[in-house]
Amino acid sequence: MENLKEILGDCRLNHVAIATKSLSQTKGFYESLGLNFSKNEEIVESQNVKTAFASIDEFAHLELLESTSEEGPIARFIEKKGEGLHHLCFEVKNLEGKIEELKLKGVRFLTDKSFIGANNCRVIFIHPKSAFGVLVELSESEKESL
Ligand code: ZN
């Protein structure tokens, strides 16, 4: 593992997010695989969503998303595509700088500006059309972790 620092880039996986109709049932499945979820489920009002996190390794988490309203983005996602993989989240060093850099390359975002998401992280979502069909979230890494 001594060369890990050299092979890692300036971007690392923060979480894989799964849209579900039932947080508790999905949690049960992943718990049976051996993951431990943090006790607190968090409601992100701005997204009409309830989330639960489990650590996968030192850095990466599994995030489960259940809609708190029939109109929320997760409810609409499940209606269109069914339950399943919703997005990947990558941590970058300088979020605002990365957004500017990507905008210059023509990358489209779901919102014009970054905002505060789950766990009080500043985040933004890249439009799936700019990311080969995958909804990609970018978050700002904690200074000491990169
Ligand atoms: Zn996320």
Distance 104 CA to ligand 1 centre (A): 24
Distance 17 CA to ligand 1 centre (A): 6
DSSP code at position 145: G
DSSP calls for 61-118: EEEEEEESSTTSHHHHHHHHH-SEEEEEEEEES-HHHHHHHHHHTT--BSSSS-EE-G
- The model's confidence at residue 145, banded by pLDDT at 50, 70 and 90, is very low
Closest CA to 86 of 134, 18, 26: 18
Q: How far is CA 131 from CA 39, 79, 136, in A?
A: 33, 22, 7
Distance 105 CA to ligand 1 centre (A): 23
- Three-state SS at 39: coil
Token pair of 33 as six digits:
């695989």
Write down the pLDDT at residue 32.
98
Distance 49 CA to ligand 1 centre (A): 11
Q: List, for residues 13-27, the tens digit of each pLDDT value.
A: 999 999 999 999 999
Pairing of strands 84-92, 115-116: unpaired
Between 118 and 22, where is the model more confident? 22
| Separation between Cα atoms, residue 83 and residue 11, nearest integer Å | 27
Distance 82 CA to ligand 1 centre (A): 18
Average pLDDT over residues 91-95: 94
Distance 1 CA to ligand 1 centre (A): 28
Q: List, for residues 33-92, the tens digit of each pLDDT value.
A: 999 999 888 888 888 999 999 999 988 999 999 999 998 999 999 999 999 999 999 999
Has residue 144 got a pLDDT over 60? no
